[in-house]
Structure 1
Amino acid sequence: MKEIQQFFIRNFIAVPVSFGSWLYLLFGIGMNIFPATGLFIVLYLGSSFSIKQIQLSSNLKQLGMTRSEYKHIKNQLTSARFKVKQLNSFYGKVRSVQAFRQLHEINTISRKILGIVKTNPKKFYYVEKFFYAHLDSAVELTSKYSMLVNQPLKDKDLKITLQNTRETLVDVNKQLEQDLRNVLSSDLEKLQMEIDFVGVTMNRDKPVLEMKGDKYNDRK
């Protein structure tokens, strides 16, 4: 959402500046339309790029991150999205309802983690194992399972391998669930603190209830 907003801000500034310069070049100094249009494109691209860099610097300052950190996390997100697309390609290859449901859960959890990290890149450090190992394991095992389950022969060894793969996928799914908990942990702690604060405030401001039969002034 923020990226879309910043895109419109860039164009809101870059387009009028570039178009105004184009009109000046045409009618102010009588430049030919072709070189003027070329300069218009250069001005638009240059101003848009400069504003984008300013916006990026502002975002990094708010996040407390360096450009190299941010670039690394963006690359990891791009790589992870490609792996999730690979998971999507296995939907038509699994044979059982259980395997389909399991694949759907893995896919859903993975997309949720990616969405959270995209919104707040610092969350990447809560789920580094997801990006470096767990998602890779999910893709590799699902690929292996979809390949084995479509083999025409079903001997004892193949059935054992399939069963072992299914059980391992269950473990991977649990790892992904833990990754999701990890990436949400700081938000949950913050929410609990806010709930506790509101509770304390409400109890503090709540008038003390009088016992039945008590008077306002015991001295009377």
Structure 2
Amino acid sequence: MKAILELIIRLLITIPSMVIIWFLVYFSTNHLFFATSVSSLIAGLFIYQCTKWVRTGQFIKQQKISRKEYRFILKNLKEAKYKIRRLQKTFFSIRDIRTFKLYYDINKIVRKIYSLIQKEPRRFYLAESFFYVHLNSMVELSEKFSLLNAQPVKNKEIIQNIDETRHTLKELTHEIEKDLYSMLKRDIDDLHFELEYAKHSIDQNRPLTREERRKKK
């Protein structure tokens, strides 16, 4: 949604600018239509890129990170997006409700972590273990689980491996829950502070009960 909004903003700046430039060049070059159109297009592309650069700079400044850090985080997000797609492909092999529920929880947490970092890239440093360890392990295990689970005939060893993989995936789910919690811990602490402050304010302004008035006397 944010990416679409940013695109609309850039187009709202670029298109009117192109129209103005087109008329200015057209009347200053004795009505040369082709030259005017090419000039307007080049100018529009330049304005679009400048607008994108400025808007990105404002976003980076707001996030309190450098452009180099932002490029690094975007690179990791791009790699993570590919891994998440691989993870989601394994969902199609699910045949039992128990495993489907597990995969549903995994997908929900993974997408939440990804979307949080898209919106606030500085949170990346609070979830590095997710990107460098847990997501990789989860993708590999899910693909192996999918392969084994799809076999038409399963012997005792395959069934044992399926159960062990499912158990490990559950443990990994707990780990990525911790990753998500570490990303949100500051927000949770801030919320607790605000709640305590609000409760204190309410107590300060609350009318005294009859018993409290008696004690004051």
User: Does TM, scored on the shorter chain, surpass 0.5?
Assistant: yes
**Distance apart, 1:31 and its partner CA:** 4.3
Aligned to 2:154: 154
Q: TM-score, structure 2 length as denominator?
A: 0.91
- In 2, Cα distance between the equivalents of 1:162 and 1:6? 45
What do residues 190-215 of structure 1 show as CA deviations (whole Å, max 9, x unaligned)?
1111111111122222343343895x
Percent identical: 29
**Distance apart, 1:2 and its partner CA:** 4.2
Q: Structure 1: which 4+ aligned runs deviate by more than 4 Å? A: none
What do residues 105-161 of structure 1 show as CA deviations (whole Å, max 9, x unaligned)?
111110011111111111111111111111111111010011011223322222221
Aligned to 2:192: 192
- In 1, Cα distance between the equivalents of 2:213 and 2:72? 70
Aligned runs of 1:58-69 on 2, under 5 Å? 58-69=58-69
Q: Residues 213 and 92 (structure 1 numbering): CA distance in 2 closer, same or farther, change over 3 Å?
A: closer
Q: Residues 27 and 64 (structure 1 numbering): CA distance in 2 closer, same or farther, change over 3 Å?
A: same
The structure that has the greater radius of gyration is 1
8 Å Cα contact 1:14/1:47 also seen in 2: yes
Aligned to 2:211: 211
Aligned to 1:145: 145
SS in 2 for 1:30: coil
- In 1, Cα distance between the equivalents of 2:18 and 2:186? 44
- In 1, Cα distance between the equivalents of 2:22 and 2:29? 10
Gaps of 5+ in 1: none
Aligned to 2:56: 56
**Distance apart, 1:95 and its partner CA:** 2.4
- In 2, Cα distance between the equivalents of 1:212 and 1:64? 50
Aligned to 1:47: 47
- In 2, Cα distance between the equivalents of 1:178 and 1:187? 15
| Residue identity in the other structure for 1:116 | L
SS in 2 for 1:91: helix
SS in 2 for 1:90: helix
Moved more, 189-198 or 204-213: 204-213
SS in 2 for 1:73: helix
8 Å Cα contact 1:87/1:103 also seen in 2: no
Q: TM-score, structure 1 length as denominator?
A: 0.90
Alignment RMSD: 2.0
- In 2, Cα distance between the equivalents of 1:182 and 1:16? 45
Q: Indicate the structure with greater helix content.
A: 2
